[in-house]
Chains A and B, each alone.
Chain A
Amino acid sequence: MLKLYGKIDFKNIAFKGWKLFYVTFNPNIPDILKSQFAFIVDNHNYKKGFGSYLSFEKVKKDIPNLFTLKNEFQYLSEGDVIRLDDNGGYACIFRLSSRYNTLLLTEQCNHYCLMCSQPPKKQDDSWLLDQSMKIIEMIPKNTESMGFSGGEPTLYGEGFVNLLRRTKLTLPNTGLDVLTNGRAFAQESFTKSIADVAHPNCTFGIPLYSHDPVRHNYVVQAENAFDETIKGILNLKAYNQRVEIRVVIHKQTIDHLIETCRYITKNLIFVDHVALMGLEITGFTRANLDKLWVDPYEYKNILSEAVRILNHYNISTSVYNHQLCTVNNDVLPNYQKSISDWKNEFVGECDGCQKKSECGGFFSSSIKYRYSDNIKAFA
């Protein structure tokens, strides 16, 4: 798994606050543009004039705005975007080679999901919204797709609408996935202002964990969540926005998974996609593991039936984050390999497996903390 954040001790930083830079190995960037770039420097190639410098080794010269990065950051490539803070923090914000760049808009959230992979924080982090506005300008125009997530992005209200508008104008050809609990869209006026932006290719990914309002509210740890989420979905569709429903499968959602999918086919049949997702063992999941963990191999028949029902009603459905040996064959047409474009990781039980190249593998967090007891290599 890639490390995205770090901090340096020794600082020789001339700028205030935080700044975004393009990563470059090219010493011959035109002088007028150098200030926008963070140049990967070593003991031989220093050229002055760059906005900042990154190195993976101790560099002798007294270079301004130099960040010495840990070796794990060697993945940085030409054109990636890095944020450097005046307190020594650095973070890779955007990777050119990745198909799954997601911008974190906020860590604040009005939910507190039992399995949240980005545990909410209460402090004001609206600077993240400002950062995103700037990042949008730096992302290549031919980027195929990107995402917005949080926390709950819509908490910014009008601010979020503005970001959406700016994104449409700056990156008109980039597909956008917005992860949201959808509750803000229960307000018709908010939905309308989003619809008025008329982004050509934006999908709202909204979690729904049960047909049973009590259970859904329990999983997301928020009262009234179910009603507002459903209303939000209805409003979004009434305004012709694309909606994907996401269901994370774990012990609290598996019992009624089939009934939940049936509920979707009866009440939300017009959604554009349904994603059935395996559990990632990060964030709150670890704290609640006893409530959440169920071996996917044990629910594979339920998963098959759920997929069958959704397929039958022609609802586009995908299964994510499962290993091939934990699902039935009938799910394969809907099976998606990639968890992310980070290296698909495998465990010892996978040695010699003939289907490794078709399998999504594991989250590194799963390998570390918990994965199926029934992993078996295909002969």
Chain B
Amino acid sequence: MEINLTFDLNVYSLLVLKKSAYRYINKFSINFNVKNQNVICALSFSNKYTADQCNYFADQFKKEVLDQDLRETIKNETEPVRNLILAHAFSKTGLVDSE
């Protein structure tokens, strides 16, 4: 069975969609097609799943996209401070200096 979902690229990045799709790699395979500012995700399910199950997974996928989007936001915002902390963690001195 195949289910098509459309996402607006102004709202979700392709990276977010790919990451979400990866998590369902054992449930369905996916094809991405970009048309204008939209991405059409074609979800292909194996025959062993019922229609209800397929719809459920598609729903879960949409929720996952929301989560991944949130994760992207957190990651982008915290990337600099994460690098700072890691760099300091593994620098030679372990001491805290007062500024």
* Interface residues in chain A, defined as those with a beta carbon under 8 Å from any beta carbon in chain B: 186-188, 228, 231, 234-235, 238
Contact = CB atoms under 8 A, between A and B. Distances in A.
Nearest to B98: A186
Interface stretch (B47-55, B56-64, B89-97): B89-97
A260 to B, nearest CB: 20
Counting chain B residues whose Cβ lies within 8 A of the other chain, the interface size class is under 10
A123 to B, nearest CB: 28
16 contacts: A186-B96, A186-B98, A187-B98, A188-B95, A188-B96, A188-B97, A188-B98, A228-B98, A231-B96, A231-B98, A234-B96, A235-B95, A235-B96, A238-B94, A238-B95, A238-B96
Chain A, interface SS category:
helix
A115 B96 CA distance: 30
A238 B93 CA distance: 10
Contacts of A235: 95-96
Nearest to A185: B98
A238 B97 CA distance: 11
Nearest to B97: A188
Given A187-B98, A188-B98, A228-B98, 13 more contacts: A186-B96, A186-B98, A188-B95, A188-B96, A188-B97, A231-B96, A231-B98, A234-B96, A235-B95, A235-B96, A238-B94, A238-B95, A238-B96
Nearest to A183: B98
Nearest to A235: B96
A188 B96 CA distance: 7
A282 B29 CA distance: 73
B3 to A, nearest CB: 45
Contacts of A186: 96, 98
Contacts of B96: 186, 188, 231, 234-235, 238
A66 B64 CA distance: 88
A228 B99 CA distance: 10
B99 to A, nearest CB: 9
A238 B95 CA distance: 7
Among B94, B95, B96, B97, chain A packs the most CB atoms within 10 A around the CB of B96
Contacts of A228: 98
Contacts of B97: 188
